[in-house]
Amino acid sequence: MASSFPNLECRMYEARFPDVDMAVMIQVKSIGEMCAYVSLLEYNNIEDAEKGYVNLSKRRVSEEDIQICEDRYNKSKLVHSIMRHVAETMQLDLEDLYIHVGWPLYRKYGHAFEAFKLVVSDPDSILNSLTREVKETGPDGEEVTKVVPALTDEVKDALVKNIRRRMTPQPLKIRADIEMKCFQFDGVLHIKDAMRKAEAAGNQDCPVKIKLVAPPSYVLITQTLDKEQGISVLTKAIAACTEEIELHKGKLTVKEAPRAVSEREDILLAERMAKLSQANEEVEGDDDSEEEEDTGMGDIDLEKQQQEI
């Protein structure tokens, strides 16, 4: 497999050309009066067939067909990027790597992307089944064919490392913003009980935390690999929190429904809470103000709650 000057160009699929009626991803090279000249991105940018051109037709494509094509291409592009990087760093011929690793996985799993997802947690069961045939000269001088692993240990380790680096799922942060008030006597205790009910709605995969931003604003947060599950868990947490606070004639208002938040949104929330904490420290000593007693919010330990983020 090794070569001083490895070939790093190869189509993504075993077939040299797309099937008839198959939607493909293309790049337009030029546009003429009667036609356009394009390259096929999934087929190593090929333009010519044996003696002319690959004939493509432009037709109305349904949204479903577009989605299928884009999904296939994005998965194939990621697989191709991993394969090419391994070939380049290990000085391998890319097409040879596809012949003995990539395309067999496409055949067995429908798409190599699906196989690579399994490699993240169980590389041996996926990769150890791949073999190649090599010819050797036997003791009698005759050529014999032997079946050996498709990958050396070094190449296998490099492939697994790259797959894990590129395909290990990253947890999403799911957040909801609420306002919660309780004007009854010991309102702060009822709010704390409601917060505990919200956190109890979480589970091992989606633990829920509820943080005070500034009375009466709170955020509920969870992290999960499954976006829909995270949204569902926070929705249940809000319901549990609402039920508890309403038992004591309090009120909960959802300001922002559960949704996935970006790293920037998370940073902005942390900055906001830091500023509020600083402001809270500057007015320390005003704990006996009538306004605070009237709201029934109490002095929930803001600094302690921030440290938990």
**255 occurs within a structural domain:** yes
Which of 131, 150, 167 is the last residue before a domain boundary?
A: 167
Angle between helix axes 112-119 and 153-167 (nearest 10 degrees) is 100
Domain co-membership, 157 together with 192: no
Phi, psi at 111, each rounded to 5° = -155, 140
Does residue 152 share a domain with residue 98?
yes
Residues 6 or more apart whose Cβ sits within 8 Å of residue 122: none
Both 74 and 111 in one domain: the answer is yes
The pTM assigned to this predicted structure is 0.59
- Of the pLDDT bands very low, low, confident and very high (cuts 50, 70, 90), residue 305 is very low
Task: Quickly state the pLDDT bin for 183 (edges 50, 70, 90).
Answer: very high
pLDDT surpasses 80 at 7: yes
Say how far apart CA 249 and CA 222 lie, in whole Å: 27
List the domain range (segments joined by +) for residue 57: 26-167
Torsion of CA 270, 276, 278, 280, to 10 degrees: -140
For residue 287, being part of any structural domain is answered with: yes
Is residue 186 domain-resident? yes
| Residues 42 and 155 grouped into a single domain | yes
Whether 217 maps to a domain, the answer reads yes
Torsion of Cα atoms, 257 then 258 then 260 then 261, to 10°: 60
Asked if pLDDT for residue 58 goes beyond 70, the answer is: no
Give the chain's domain count. Answer: 2
Please spell the DSSP secondary structure of 180-211, one letter per residue: EE--STTHHHHHHHHHHHHHHT--SSS--EEE
Candidates 267, 223, 218; CA nearest to 238 is 218
Q: Average model confidence (pLDDT) for the chain?
A: 85
- Indicate whether 132 and 188 sit together in one domain: no
Dump the DSSP string for 140-168.
TS-EEEEEEESS-HHHHHHHHHHHHHHHS
Query: Do 149 and 277 reside in the same domain of the chain?
Result: no
In a domain, 151, yes or no: yes
Residue 129 pLDDT class (50, 70, 90 cuts): very high
In a shared domain, residues 201 and 301: yes
Residues 111 and 233 both lie in one domain: no
Whether 18 is in a domain gets the answer no
Report the CATH number at residue 256: 3.30.70.1130
Tell me how far the alpha carbon of residue 28 is from its chain's centroid: 30
Whether 146 and 238 share a structural domain: no
Query: Of 145, 167, 189, which marks where a domain is finished?
Result: 167
Residues 208 and 114 placed together within one structural domain of the fold: no
Q: Based on the domain organization, do 158 and 188 belong to the same domain? A: no
Residue 5 lies in a domain: no
In a domain, 282, yes or no: yes
Q: Please report which confidence band the pLDDT of residue 20 belongs to, taking 50, 70 and 90 as the band edges.
A: confident
The residue among 138, 167, 196 that closes a domain is: 167
Residues 89 and 135 in one domain: yes
